A = this chain, B = another copy of it.
Amino acid sequence: MPRKTSPKVRPPASSPRPRRKAPAPRAEQIVAAAFEEFSAHGFAATRLDDVARRAGVAKGTIYLHFKNKEILFQAVVRSLIRPLIEEFGGFARGSEGSAEDLLGQFLSRMYAEVVRSPEVRGILRLLIAESRNFPQVAEIYRREVIEPGLAAFRLVLDKGCASGEFRRTRARDFPQILIAPAIAAVVWMLVVGKRQPLDLDAYFSAHLEFVLRGLKASPRSPEAAGPRSDES
């Protein structure tokens, strides 16, 4: 629960400073509104007029905080990538438990924080749609989210192999393959989700089952997980 600490913890309120830090509250409103619009219509089809209206500010105010539409767009994507960075960039910590448990946790969080989050799906839509027009943004995403995430996932796989829980597979080199069903779910929801919703609980469970079945060493051949390759 990486939520902000409970609101009651704030100082007694006797303090004469009504808003203490408030890191550019207007800019945040604008970014939030812009995200809605961008993710609904894409970069080019979004009107800053609408962004302003949604943010409850005048059109000119946007330009007070962001040089132009493109800079605003980048600010939006960056601000939304940040939680993902924290989520997956720092996954290494939960090293307790069996590899299977870890893998389940990883995927479970992936569904909770990515697949089930309309916001994150929106970012992904933007990234896919605009990566050609904004390669810098795609590059940030790759470096800050994808690579750390894949590395963390690879760690889990290696741990499982080392402990004998998992057998070695080529998928170790392409962890994407094990995560792919989550990506596919996002794509599905983005493209046809409105018409044909996905039962995410069942889908997740099928995903997990399949991944584990593909990974787990056969109980009867414990030696399979040893240095000997069980791949022909």
Residues of A at under 8 Å CB distance from B? 40-45, 125, 127-133, 135, 138-139, 141-142, 146, 167, 169-171, 173-174, 176-181, 183-185, 187-188, 190-192, 194-196, 202-203, 205-207, 209-211, 213-214, 217-221, 224, 228-232
Contact = CB atoms under 8 A, between A and B. Distances in A.
4 pairs of A and B residues whose beta carbons are closest in the complex: A129-B129, A180-B184, A170-B206, A44-B45
B191 A185 contact: no
A191 B126 CA distance: 10
Contacts of A184: 176-177, 179-180, 183-184
23 contacts: A40-B132, A42-B129, A125-B132, A128-B190, A131-B190, A138-B191, A139-B192, A139-B195, A142-B191, A142-B196, A146-B192, A169-B206, A169-B210, A170-B205, A171-B209, A174-B181, A176-B188, A177-B203, A179-B184, A183-B183, A213-B213, A218-B230, A221-B230
B187 A128 contact: yes
Contact of A131 (B191, B219, B224, B228): B191
Each complex incorporates copies of this chain amounting to: 4
A220 to B, nearest CB: 5
Contacts of A206: 169-171, 173-174, 177
Contact of A42 (B42, B139, B178): B42
Nearest to A196: B142
Contacts of A183: 180, 183-184, 187
A201 to B, nearest CB: 11
A202 B172 CA distance: 12
Given A191-B141, A214-B214, A209 B170 contact: yes
Given A42-B129, A180-B183, A187-B187, A202 B174 contact: yes
Contacts of A224: 230
A178 B40 CA distance: 29
Contacts of A203: 174, 176-177
A218 B218 CA distance: 9
Contacts of A230: 167, 217-218, 221, 224, 228, 230
A192 B138 CA distance: 6
